[in-house]
Amino acid sequence: MPTKRVTSHDVARQAGVSRATVSLVLNRSESVVIAKETRERVLRAAGELGYKPNSAARMLVSGQSETIGLIVSDPSILLVDQFVTQVLYGVETANRQLGLHVLVAGLESDGPGSTYDDLVESRRIDGLIVLNPKAGDAALISLIEKDFPLVLVGSVRHPREVAVTFATRPALMKAVDHVVGLGHRRVGAITFSPRSFIATEARLAALEAGLRAHGLALDADAIEIGDFSPESGHCAGLALLSRRPDVTAIFAGNDTIAIGVLSAAHALGRTVPQDLSLVGFDDLPFAPWLTPALTTIRTDGVHQGQIATQMLFERLNGRSPAVPRVRLEPDFIVRASTGSAKP
Amino acid sequence: MPTKRVTSHDVARQAGVSRATVSLVLNRSESVVIAKETRERVLRAAGELGYKPNSAARMLVSGQSETIGLIVSDPSILLVDQFVTQVLYGVETANRQLGLHVLVAGLESDGPGSTYDDLVESRRIDGLIVLNPKAGDAALISLIEKDFPLVLVGSVRHPREVAVTFATRPALMKAVDHVVGLGHRRVGAITFSPRSFIATEARLAALEAGLRAHGLALDADAIEIGDFSPESGHCAGLALLSRRPDVTAIFAGNDTIAIGVLSAAHALGRTVPQDLSLVGFDDLPFAPWLTPALTTIRTDGVHQGQIATQMLFERLNGRSPAVPRVRLEPDFIVRASTGSAKP
DNA sequence: ATTTCTAACTGACACGTGTTAGTAAGCGTC
DNA sequence: GACGCTTACTAACACGTGTCAGTTAGAAAT
């Protein structure tokens, strides 16, 4: 790019006005201080020269970068589970609509954790959205307590956090009602992460509560721990069904794990839903097209990303969001992977 | 964030030196112009005050943003097909390792297309990686011809483009050998996009060439056009198998479409691989865990993203990449979705 | 004619950094 | 002691923009 940059100075010269006037015309949209004729001359000059303000200079003087950071915890989850991508898409589109740029940064759980400071202290971003935040993340807590404009997609259970989460309990209750209504009595679960993660614990608790309402229990040896991936679903499914062959219904931590469970069931000679009922979580785009089509709980990740963006936008404009913690309600979707328990 | 920013001026005062010295100490890592004792005093002061240079000021004076743009054409593909996410992950990790930031921007095909200029002309980014570039994208061509540091993940067939693509022909040949070797004679294909897309056309051509080498043809009415999604795979599969029930093997444009084809086959009462053989494309993480496990062609999207980053890095440092067009070689992976044709 | 007022524009500063030309000090050399 | 040379540091400029306080010109009022 050997081309010379066009500055506001060039525009001013071409329009026969001062640089200050150019700036006023281009920024103060409806202020009447500028004569109509002058305004038009400036706009024409800017157009002809193809003037685009230098973002760095503008950032420097205004203190704003018009950019938000999107931190993805454990980015390798992106590789295996499509849900994170749904949120990312929601965040990107919503910000584009608002005229904001999105800087994506992965945060390795074993890394230095300085990623936040790199972005925040250097004033490279105005606000932050954090995907899958970890409760023990000290740097993150510190930012929350400094009141830095930050929205969590997930939760670290901090009293002052601003977050978008899912109220999974109602949908899980419906799912349990459905499964128990089909006659299942021995139910298993495969989580997408260790119980220490807030979302995992909350979902297991909801599941247990739901079963308890029907006089049933979620046995400790009917729980397996996965890691988001189909492979982990397969392994956990094999382990669970081998240890507890009497289990007739499994709740998977997400749809991706459910794929692996389907494969495990098949490997063990059990047909879904005749010999085993399976419930997924998320309703990813492939869920209706698995064989059998997956009964699942629909969490709208795109929407979650959009809401997070909207809340961050409020904070960036100095307004504290009307509701600091938004809880979205997932739907329960019945398809073909759940069926009557054998008598 | 009511906290006052720490500037290099503060560091200078605390260390008892001039601001210039601070800058020299922090930037000229191994230049010996600074006395060891002074250097240490400055570093200590910077550490104590928690000094982080303001990125905007640095960008302004250096003309570099240490940020690259990642343009995702038709971002909604992200939602349905996991392959794009693999590349994104590769790009993000590689750039993080190089100390560069990544700005992600979706480019709607029907949009104004000004996304490039927004980023480039405002000097917000130093270089660009474009995912799934469109051959007809005038703004993109213009950047290529201006020699802007830009790497394509894909191709627009421009003589001066710098790109990372896949040489799909050898792997597709192997796949055809495999399928024909199993006795299949009537083969169908479902693409992930209209033939006008370069990759689609190239893969169909390779497929046709492979079949021709065996004295077979890819009939026009045995080709269906999909759109990356499992749903499109399902619909295309239904259409193809209804119109040409004699087809015994199908090549899917990607693994995601293959999911839909599996479901279509099932809906029509055909079992894979007994009644129908299926070959996917990409080897996404779920491919081994579908039922049956998917025979497919492995394209390493993460690697592709890393290579693209590396090539862009070369360009940013003024070196033109050793090989302007890297072609990666996919592997052919045989699993359980392909089997002997019925006699 | 002088003052006051308004509309329309401009001069000059600030933002925080990287860098180059330049200075001051120390030291040896003739 | 004048001179040159090296070492270690600093003053000052440049980057391109947003934004006031201030200036000019013309009209209106006194």
**Per-residue pLDDT tens digits for B155-207:** 999 999 999 999 999 999 999 999 999 999 999 999 999 998 899 999 999 99
Cα A226 from Cα B32, distance rounded (Å): 54
**Which among B75, B229, B286 has CB closest to A230?**
B286
Do B270 and B306 share a domain, yes or no?
no
Span A273-291, average pLDDT: 98
Does residue A332 lie within any of the structural domains? no
Residue with tokens 């004699």: B246
Residue A313 is predicted with a pLDDT of 97
How high is the mean pLDDT of chain A? Answer: 94
Does residue A212 lie within any of the structural domains? yes
Residue A315 has pLDDT above 60, yes or no: yes
**Which among A54, A76, A89 has CB closest to B75?**
A89
Do A216 and A150 share a domain, yes or no?
no
Check: CB of residue A191 under 8 Å from CB of residue A204: yes
pLDDT, one tens digit per residue, over A242-271 is 999 999 999 999 999 999 999 999 999 999
Residue A1 has pLDDT above 80, yes or no: no
- The number of distinct structural domains making up chain B is 3
Cα A251 from Cα A279, distance rounded (Å): 5
Residue A2 is predicted with a pLDDT of 42
**Which among A123, A231, A291 has CB closest to B266?**
A291
Does residue A190 lie within any of the structural domains? yes
- Structure token digits, residue B168: 């799909």
How sure is the predictor about B33, in pLDDT bands with cuts at 50, 70 and 90?
confident
Do A272 and A198 share a domain, yes or no?
yes
Check: CB of residue A250 under 8 Å from CB of residue A187: yes
Residue A228 has pLDDT above 80, yes or no: yes
Residue with tokens 């992976």: B333
A35 touches strand D (CB under 7 A): no
Do A180 and A197 share a domain, yes or no?
yes
Q: What residue numbers bound the domain in which A227 lies?
A: 168-300
Cα B284 from Cα B298, distance rounded (Å): 8
- Structure token digits, residue A244: 């507890």
Residue B91 is predicted with a pLDDT of 98
Task: Using CA coordinates, name the residue in chain A closest to B291.
Answer: A263
Does residue A27 lie within any of the structural domains? yes
Residue A162 has pLDDT above 70, yes or no: yes
The CATH number that applies at residue A24 is: 1.10.260.40
Task: Using CA coordinates, name the residue in chain B closest to A233.
Answer: B289
Do A36 and A96 share a domain, yes or no?
no
Do B34 and B109 share a domain, yes or no?
no
Residue A182 is predicted with a pLDDT of 98
pLDDT, one tens digit per residue, over A25-65 is 998 766 667 888 889 999 999 999 999 999 999 999 999 99
Does residue A271 lie within any of the structural domains? yes
Chain A 68-87 residues whose Cβ is under 7 Å from strand D? none
Does residue B124 lie within any of the structural domains? yes
Span A297-316, average pLDDT: 97
List of chain A residues whose C-beta atoms are within 8 Å of the C-beta of residue B122: 52-55
Among residues 24-63 of chain B, which lie with CB inside 8 Å of chain A?
50, 52-57, 59-60
Do A236 and A248 share a domain, yes or no?
yes
pLDDT, one tens digit per residue, over B300-338 is 999 999 999 999 999 999 888 888 999 999 999 999 999
Do B185 and B269 share a domain, yes or no?
yes
Does residue B341 lie within any of the structural domains? no
Strands A249-252 and A223-225: unpaired
Q: Does B7 touch chain A (CB under 8 A)?
A: no
Do A216 and A127 share a domain, yes or no?
no
Inter-residue long-range contacts of B219-225, CB under 8 Å, 24+ positions, other chains counted: B219/B186, B219/B244, B222/B186, B222/B187, B222/B188, B222/B189, B222/B247, B223/B188, B223/B189, B223/B190, B223/B191, B224/B188, B224/B189, B224/B190, B224/B191, B225/B190, B225/B191, B225/B193, B225/B194, B225/B195
Do A172 and A266 share a domain, yes or no?
yes
How sure is the predictor about B2, in pLDDT bands with cuts at 50, 70 and 90?
very low
Does residue B120 lie within any of the structural domains? yes
Q: Which backbone phi and psi does A325 adopt, to 5 degrees?
A: -130, 105
Do B103 and B133 share a domain, yes or no?
yes
Residue A136 is predicted with a pLDDT of 87
Residue B112 has pLDDT above 90, yes or no: no
Crossing angle for the helix pair A36-49 and A8-15, to the nearest 10 degrees = 130
Do A180 and A145 share a domain, yes or no?
no
DSSP tag of B295: B
The CATH number that applies at residue B294 is: 3.40.50.2300
